[in-house]
Structure 1
Amino acid sequence: MNRIDKSQIDIKGIGKVLSEGKLSVPPFQRSYSWEEKQINDLFEDINESISHKNEDYFLGSIVVLRKEDGQSEIVDGQQRIATTSILLTAIRDILIELGDNVRAEIIEKDYLFSRDIETLELIQNLELNTYDNIFYTEHIVSREKRKLTSFNKVSHEKLSLAYNIALKFIRKEIIGSKEKNENIAKWITFIKENVKVIWIQVEDYSYAYTIFETLNDRGLVLTVSDLLKNLLFSKAGKKINSVQSNWIEMNTYLEAIDKENLLVDFIRHYWSTQEGLTRQRELFSKIKNRITTSNEATQLSENLVFGSYYYTALLNTDHEVWEKYNNETRESISVLKMLGMQQNRPLLLSMLQCFDKKELELAVSRLLSWTIRFIVSGRLGSSGLEINFSEKAKMITDKKIKTADSLLEEMKKIIPSDEEFEKAFSVYSSNKPEVARYLLISLEKNLNAEKEPEQIPNQNSDQITLEHILPQKMSNNWNYFSEEDHQFYFRRIGNLCLLKKRSNSMLRDDSFGKKKSVYQTSMFKLTNSLVHLSEWNKDSIDKRQSELAKLAVKAWKLK
């Protein structure tokens, strides 16, 4: 018999689902994530269905695992259930505002919570995951809402947003007429009986996984992270508790530094260190083909915890991982993060997990130089870089590359040569001020012959700013540049210099002659040297940038 045949499948109103209670979101499930558009779309769709007297509004499927204590653990569908519960809570709160405590209490009793007869504590019909439930209880469901000063998590902000959208919507669409009591009753009844969901109750996580795959095959868009999580849980067998615990721990590391969803990026980059380049679209199928036993699922979950710990260090230079490394390494990691190149993360992750201290410090220093060369030259492109970095990451994981020198030998095949880098730098333009500022500061340090200038980032724009010699906006002082030439030249590195913020604010679109009086007082040699020029035109920019390109070869060496 197919596992789906063993499931209990029913069609219910989502209000009836909430009224039956004992619903919980397991701790490993992702937090509340709906955005404003999704929330509004749900409310508007229900409103339209009621207005047009449609019999039913179909909301999708809800997959639950029935626990021994009678609790129904939500495997899929928590966003829809939670948003509906928030809508009902908002209706209750507005009824209280209107002095209609009788109807408010009916909604509470039927859909939101009961109270312990001894302690009077809330027993919620719906409990969210570990990260969201206290906030949901204290700031949404409870009548006595605690005052908010800030949000600890993005999901809390989204829960609060959903509640405020619900309040606004109800005031406008439900109680904005004389028939408000009739409208409220109509909405409550429709939510209870006519906002339909397919209720799928399964016996264990392996059944839930089968349901997920079947729904996905039939066109329901499920996130890669949902599929991966349920794959591991379905294969875990008797080790399910360990795998769930590992999944929570991994998420805890990632959520500590991330305002967006890092999970899929991390797993993809980790898998690339093991198997070479893995695209997001093929991640699930590749892992599914490899993870077939309980031991393999458990081992992968343990490896993901270990990997996530180091992965978060790549995005946080205050991470405890960096305490044993020198300052140059920490600063290089900061610059690599600022540059925003994700393609090198598998390589960094494998180095951090496999190289000893000395080799890691040397390799990170070199990787920064190579990354600058790739960015400036555009060599290989995004796809080519990802292929090569992932390939080298796997070689490190497989112990085929054990040192920074052996990594260099492999990378030499693809790193832009001095000649190629100099040629590319001589015409390079940057759309990112923080990158241009870093490049100029590093060149300045190199000109002053200070040790390892590429590892001394200074991104404090409150102190040091970028001055566009040919200004960003044209004026009569610069009318000898055509519009086309201006667009081509004003972002060129040769047209940029460093200034203290106060000095820069004085210049704006002044002529080159007036600007030189400020450049003369600058502490930066590359800026100060501009005073020796009599004019600033296309040839001046080209010549200065060619000089900077020669300096760049020395600043970002191959070795």
Structure 2
Amino acid sequence: MQPESTSLGDLFCRRIPFKVPKYQRAFDWEQEEIDDFIKDLLVLYNARKINPSQPRKHFFGGLVSIKQHIPNSYTGNLYDLVDGQQRLATFTMTIASLVKAFESLANEAKVEKDTETSQAAQSYASTTRDEYLEYKEVINNQLQPRLRLTLSKADNVFFEDLINGRSPKGSRDSHKKLQFAWDSIRTNLIAKILNDISKSSVSDKLNSLLQLRKSVIEDCYVIYIVSEDRSEAYRLFAVLNDRGRELSDGNKLRSDTLELLEKHEREQILAEDNWDTILSYPATEVEQFFRNYYASHQGKGAAKRNLADTFRDDIFKFPPGIVLEIAETEEAKKLSHTISDIKNEQQVFIEIS
């Protein structure tokens, strides 16, 4: 496992496709993280605008993935993204927004009969999409485009609809956060840059978008760590997460139980679906429900701290970091049933509330 310093553009070109595994939480960046992300990109853009020959660089943290060999696929590999989905999802939305901005500018130049700028803008839209946003996969003996990043089951359809301009219908808290991130990038980054030069020619606008494109794909870099050992990658993720934003209690329990069911695919799928429903509400509401659920089943209140650990020990009754063996079928069914019960009781709790 060798750490590697790489630009975002180089990462997306060489290491694809990325997929968020089912253990990981849904998209969770709040306004503060999105605002900081946009401010960082504007600093890089302005540095290039002032002196293109001396661009600034910005470090966006570490990414960890597990490399899997996928026979008969076009790329041959798949990278499970253990740590870094929030950043890669936000960068993907930024690249998609750039593609749409190039396309809009191509249309604007066409209306103004500036054929050269129109063709150049359309060319940059196509190359940016092909090199950084999508890759080709063989489906039914035909090459078809696929996003270079696949989010978890709860978010991926909404995420793909956003990227492809299909007006997604959101039902989860994470969907609202994805929509907010998408709108903020298009308004506070792309539109801000274009509005600052609104009276300039379409050629000048294209140059500004190209400076931003370079800032995103060349000036943003990460420390990328790839492993073929799942347990090694998750140990590293635990260390990195201790230094970052803490997982919610619900997401901790989701991760622990899905890992516990790793050798029981049917029960794991059922549990994953139920967790997606349970965690579709804001984290504060989920925690309030967990505390009420715990008290109703244990006859006492849960500890103020370490709610997830207390819940796991007393409700699920298993220690952390284990996997149920194939022969432990009844235990797997019992765990899946408990998660289903939690989901059903949450619906009643919400109606009462």
Q: Same fold by TM (over 0.5)?
A: yes
For residues 331 and 194 of structure 2, the distance between their equivalents in structure 1, rounded to whole angstroms, comes to 50
Deviation at 1:25, TM superposition (A): 1.7
Structure with more relative contact order (C-alpha pairs < 8 Å, separation 6 or more): 2
Change in CA separation of 1:128 and 1:195 when aligned onto 2, cut-off 3 Å: same
For residues 321 and 134 of structure 2, the distance between their equivalents in structure 1, rounded to whole angstroms, comes to 41
Deviation at 1:54, TM superposition (A): 6.2
Residues 428-473 of structure 1, C-alpha deviations (whole Å, 9 max, x = no match): xxxxxxxxxxxxxxxxxxxxxxxxxxxxxxxxxxxxxxxxxxxxxx
The aligned counterpart of 2:20 is 25
Instruction: Verify: 1:215 aligned to 2:240, yes or no.
Output: yes
The aligned counterpart of 2:208 is 183
Secondary structure in structure 1 of the residue aligned to 2:3: strand
Residues 347-396 of structure 1, C-alpha deviations (whole Å, 9 max, x = no match): xxxxxxxxxxxxxxxxxxxxxxxxxxxxxxxxxxxxxxxxxxxxxxxxxx
Secondary structure in structure 2 of the residue aligned to 1:122: strand
Task: In structure 1, list runs of 5 or more residues that go unmatched.
Answer: 1-6, 318-332, 339-559
Secondary structure in structure 1 of the residue aligned to 2:181: helix
Deviation at 1:210, TM superposition (A): 1.1
Instruction: Verify: 1:146 aligned to 2:166, yes or no.
Output: yes
2:151 to 111, 124, 128: 128
Report if aligned partners of 2:5, 2:224 keep a CA contact under 8 Å in 1. yes
**Structure whose alpha-carbon radius of gyration is higher:** 1
Instruction: Verify: 1:170 aligned to 2:193, yes or no.
Output: no
The aligned counterpart of 1:101 is 122
- Counterpart code for 1:61: G
- The TM-score with structure 1 as length reference comes to 0.48
Report if aligned partners of 1:66, 1:73 keep a CA contact under 8 Å in 2. yes
For residues 40 and 77 of structure 1, the distance between their equivalents in structure 2, rounded to whole angstroms, comes to 18
For residues 55 and 258 of structure 2, the distance between their equivalents in structure 1, rounded to whole angstroms, comes to 39
Residues 284-333 of structure 1, C-alpha deviations (whole Å, 9 max, x = no match): 5565893454339988875553233333443434xxxxxxxxxxxxxxx7
Residues 455-514 of structure 1, C-alpha deviations (whole Å, 9 max, x = no match): xxxxxxxxxxxxxxxxxxxxxxxxxxxxxxxxxxxxxxxxxxxxxxxxxxxxxxxxxxxx
- Counterpart code for 1:107: T
For residues 30 and 63 of structure 2, the distance between their equivalents in structure 1, rounded to whole angstroms, comes to 20
- The TM-score with structure 2 as length reference comes to 0.72
Deviation at 1:28, TM superposition (A): 4.3
Report if aligned partners of 2:102, 2:124 keep a CA contact under 8 Å in 1. yes
2:94 to 81, 87, 91: 87
Instruction: Verify: 1:72 aligned to 2:66, yes or no.
Output: no
Residues 242-291 of structure 1, C-alpha deviations (whole Å, 9 max, x = no match): 674354133134147x3556665666666675696543632455658934
Residues 411-438 of structure 1, C-alpha deviations (whole Å, 9 max, x = no match): xxxxxxxxxxxxxxxxxxxxxxxxxxxx
The aligned counterpart of 1:34 is 29
The aligned counterpart of 1:55 is 56
Instruction: Verify: 1:314 aligned to 2:341, yes or no.
Output: no
Task: In structure 2, list runs of 5 or more residues that go unmatched.
Answer: 48-53, 71-76, 107-120
Over the residues paired in the alignment, what is the CA RMSD in angstroms? 3.7
How many residues matched? 309
Instruction: Verify: 1:13 aligned to 2:7, yes or no.
Output: yes
For residues 262 and 161 of structure 2, the distance between their equivalents in structure 1, rounded to whole angstroms, comes to 36
Change in CA separation of 1:131 and 1:314 when aligned onto 2, cut-off 3 Å: closer
- Counterpart code for 2:180: L
For residues 130 and 43 of structure 2, the distance between their equivalents in structure 1, rounded to whole angstroms, comes to 27
The aligned counterpart of 2:74 is none
Q: State the percentage of identical aligned residues.
A: 21
Secondary structure in structure 2 of the residue aligned to 1:223: coil
Report if aligned partners of 2:22, 2:153 keep a CA contact under 8 Å in 1. yes
Report if aligned partners of 1:15, 1:191 keep a CA contact under 8 Å in 2. yes
Deviation at 1:55, TM superposition (A): 3.2
Q: How does 1:142-291 map to 2 (within 5 A)?
A: 142=164, 145-147=165-167, 150-168=169-187, 169-173=189-193, 176-177=196-197, 178=200, 179-217=204-242, 219-225=243-249, 226-231=251-256, 236=260, 239=263, 241=265, 244-245=268-269, 247-255=271-279, 258=281, 260=283, 273=297, 277-279=301-303, 281-283=305-307, 290-291=319-320
For residues 215 and 88 of structure 1, the distance between their equivalents in structure 2, rounded to whole angstroms, comes to 26
Residues 106-160 of structure 1, C-alpha deviations (whole Å, 9 max, x = no match): 11011111346865632221112223222322332x3xx3355x43444334333
Report if aligned partners of 2:248, 2:283 keep a CA contact under 8 Å in 1. no
Instruction: Verify: 1:295 aligned to 2:324, yes or no.
Output: yes
